Amino acid sequence: MPVPDRHEEEPAKEIDRDYYRLWREAKGNAVAWETEAKRLRKLLEEQLGDAFAATIDGVKVLTYRPTATYATQAIIKDYPDLVRRFMRQEISEVLDVDAFRRAHPDVAERYRSRSWREVTQDAE
């Protein structure tokens, strides 16, 4: 027995079928091209090795210089015992959204996030 859709009564509006089809096609192409871009970047990084710049016909086309940042999550994952004594606690200030929403519902609602998600793959 299927579970009833708890969003059955939400506001809905018809959209252009062609725009929807083109969006799905573009989304699929974007994923494929992003995968290809990552593959090609890896090959270029391997070619660069320890160099900081890449050239084509003597003209600099890419740089791959070290920065002041480090992949800290990777260090923590790969060397948990080594980093343990270097861990420190930080206190941060965060917005209590629930309290703000109760005090200023009209303002909070203007900043409410919306979830963009495809319902089915067969809606063409």
pLDDT in tens, 80-94: 999 999 999 999 999
Q: Model's pTM, two decimal places?
A: 0.63
CA distance 65 to 52: 5
In the three-class reduction of DSSP (H, G, I as helix; E, B as strand; rest coil), residue 54 is classed as strand
Contact, 97 vs 108, CB < 8 A? yes
Tokens representing 31 are: 């994923």
**Residue 35 above 60 pLDDT?**
yes
Domain range list for the chain: 17-110
Query: At residue 56, what are phi and psi to the nearest 5 degrees?
Result: -130, 125
Tokens representing 5 are: 């859709």
In the three-class reduction of DSSP (H, G, I as helix; E, B as strand; rest coil), residue 56 is classed as strand
**Residue 50 above 80 pLDDT?**
yes
Q: What is the pLDDT of residues 95-106, one digit of tens each?
A: 999 999 999 999
Tokens representing 42 are: 């890896």
112-122 residues labelled b (16+ CB within 10 A) or e (exposed): eeeeeeeeeee
